[in-house]
Amino acid sequence: MPARRIDLHTHSAASDGSDTPARLAAEAAASGLDVFALTDHDTTDGWAAAAAALPAGLTLVPGAELSCRNGGVSLHLLAYLFDPADPPLARAMGQLRKERVGRAERMVALLEADGHPVSWAQVRALAAGTVGRPHVAQALVASGLVRSIDEAFGPRWIGAGGRYWTGRYELEAVEAVRLVAAAGGVTVLAHALATSRGRTVGEAAIEELAAAGLAGLEVEHPDHEDSARVRLRETAARLDLLVTGASDYHGTVKAVRLASHLTDPAVYDELVRRGTGCQVIAA
């Protein structure tokens, strides 16, 4: 049997990806994947549609990417195989989604105050589900204020610390690791050393998360330089953490393709063994 091809980080239109969950499932199969995880930002809303549309031979790992912080640094926690109905976790994710709306509204208000022709209705219409900065970025492109989504994510606009950027509520990362574990799930720290995204967490923070039950580090990721991968592999070996790889696919919102980076099948099997809040879904 050829090695299974496994991509553990993708986004659908349930958050800020451009593919519907059903389309994403079809694209995953077309990309030659055997397994993909749906990890929309702060929501599980895409799970059912993705599961219903699974082509034969493709396995779906239900997941989410949770917005967290540690010591003033934003970080993203991939959570897999948790019980979506677990009340404390579902409440926390609901709060994150609510705060996303307030934050996007604040960014639009700042833009409007400077006379820029974007509106909340326009941004809201671009988001099929959970709103995110890519929707604001798309509105900036549509209004002709910037030429590209990348430019919108620059310092003049809504990039981290940019003129129209505002922060938002995020879960304390250590608490989030425990919350997901209590819901039967497993956690992997996403793109920990992606320097293009602003400040990154240090070793001490990763140690703290590992002590709280973090299962792994996402190492093979399009935003990681080779040097970041080397460092993260060393950290993972030292702290006995699993190492994963994934594309962080967003459809047309970002240039990256599905299956650009993959996870070792043995690591995937171990994650599945540890996740008890729900099961992987196969057609």
**Binding residues for Zn ion (CB under 5 A):** 11, 16
30 contact partners, CB below 8 Å, separation of at least 6: none
Report the SS3 class of residue 79: strand
Q: Which residues pair with 249 in a beta bridge?
A: 10
Comparing every residue's Cβ against ligand AMP, the nearest one is: 132
Query: Is-contact 179 277, C-beta < 8 A?
Result: no
Where are the alpha helices (H) located in the chain, listed in sequence order?
21-30, 47-52, 87-113, 120-126, 133-142, 149-152, 173-182, 203-212, 226-239, 265-274
Q: Which partner from the list Fe ion, ligand AMP, Zn ion, none does 216 bind, CB cut-off 5 to 8 Å by kind?
A: none
Which stretch, 137-145, 154-162, 189-197, 274-282, contacts Fe ion (CB under 5 A)?
Answer: 189-197
The nearest distance, CB 16 to ligand AMP, in angstroms, is: 6
The nearest distance, CB 95 to Zn ion, in angstroms, is: 18
SS3 sequence of 16-27: CCCCCHHHHHHH
CB of 38 or CB of 54, closer to Fe ion: 38
The nearest distance, CB 123 to Zn ion, in angstroms, is: 15
CB of 162 or CB of 213, closer to ligand AMP: 162
Query: Is-contact 216 274, C-beta < 8 A?
Result: no
* Torsion from C-alpha of 86, 89, 94, 100, nearest 10 degrees: -150
The nearest distance, CB 149 to ligand AMP, in angstroms, is: 5
Size of the site for Fe ion (CB under 5 A): 4
Instruction: List residues binding ligand AMP (CB under 6 A).
Output: 16, 41, 132-134, 149-150, 153, 250, 253-254
User: In the complex, which residues of this chain contact Fe ion (CB under 5 A)?
Assistant: 65, 76, 190, 248
